Amino acid sequence: MLEARLGQTLLLKKIVEALKEIISQGTLDCSDSGLQLQSMDNSHVSLVALSLQSDCFEKFRCDRNVSLGLDLKSLAKVLKCANSDDTVTLSASDKPDKLLLSFEAGEKERTADYELKLLNLDEDHLGIPDTEYCCTIHMPSAEFARICRDMSMFSESVTIACSKQGIKFSANGDLGSANIKLSEGSKGDVTIEVDDPLTQTFAGRYLNTFTKATPLTERVKICLSAEVPLLVEYAIEDYGYIRYYLAPKVDDADV
């Protein structure tokens, strides 16, 4: 039996909002260490991985490993019915065909229970190798979201160039071109660790989708290395993360 109580529905809302833009269905793997979800996006280009440790929950019990096939849009609908500061308890049996969500406000005059039907999903889990990245950037997540949005007005492709001097985002299209440069400032908003300078180009629409996780945290970590996918990581307090992976474009112009 799974029973997991979260003090605030808001955190779950933010997680589901971040996921539902990139995957429509996904399998939540529950074990006594916590919850995990890994999935390719709908067009099988990027990968998203959620990890949430059991100590993120006020109460957590998972007697045996169980996999919950979720329709993310339906889950988001149920969460719309809850107040952000409601307590939410997720529960499921050992062989579940539904997930039960129980919301409680401060006093007990109102209880709201929702049963969500589960899906049978076949999913291959990809092993994600640990990678040493040659460029690591920490920056405000809102700034990253804004840059991705601005770039997407100019082109489908966004080029990220990292060097010790700073990080440059560029896009080039019919309208004209855009260049935004960030450097390590005295305020410490942006930190850049670069072993080798690197320039890579990405499909902007995926970067934009990743930024749906912006409400989760004020800082985002971006890691790049030659010939491996970009990693964009949003921490979930001290208890986990959502990580997005996206391979760079192989651009003819670069060959």
Residues that bind its own copies (CB under 8 A): 74, 77-78, 80-81, 98, 107-117, 143, 150, 153, 174-187, 189-190
- Measured from the CB of residue 141, what is the shortest distance to its own copies in angstroms? 15
Least CB distance to its own copies at residue 240 (A): 26
C-beta closer to its own copies: residue 74 or 199: 74
Write out the two tokens for 98.
């539904």
**C-beta closer to its own copies: residue 76 or 134:** 76
The position carrying tokens 């996780």 is 213
Residue with tokens 């955190």: 11
> C-alpha 89: how far from its chain's center?
22
In the complex, least distance from residue 67 CB atom to its own copies, rounded to whole angstroms:
18
Q: How far apart are CA 249 and CA 247, in angstroms?
A: 7
Q: Which residue has the tokens 């997930």?
A: 99
- Say how many Å lie between the first and final Cα of the chain, rounded: 54
CB 1 within 8 A of CB 91: yes
Per DSSP, what are the bridge partners of residue 36? 29, 51
Cα–Cα distance measured from residue 206 to residue 210, given in angstroms and rounded to the nearest whole number: 6
Provide the minimum distance between the beta carbon of 213 and its own copies in the complex, in angstroms, as a whole number.
Answer: 22
Whole-number Å distance between alpha carbons of 158 and 145: 13
Looking at the Cβ atoms of 43 and 191, the one nearer to its own copies is: 191
**CB nearer its own copies, residue 81 or residue 126:** 81
Q: Whose Cβ is closer to its own copies: residue 77's or residue 219's?
A: 77
Least separation in angstroms between CB 140 and its own copies: 10
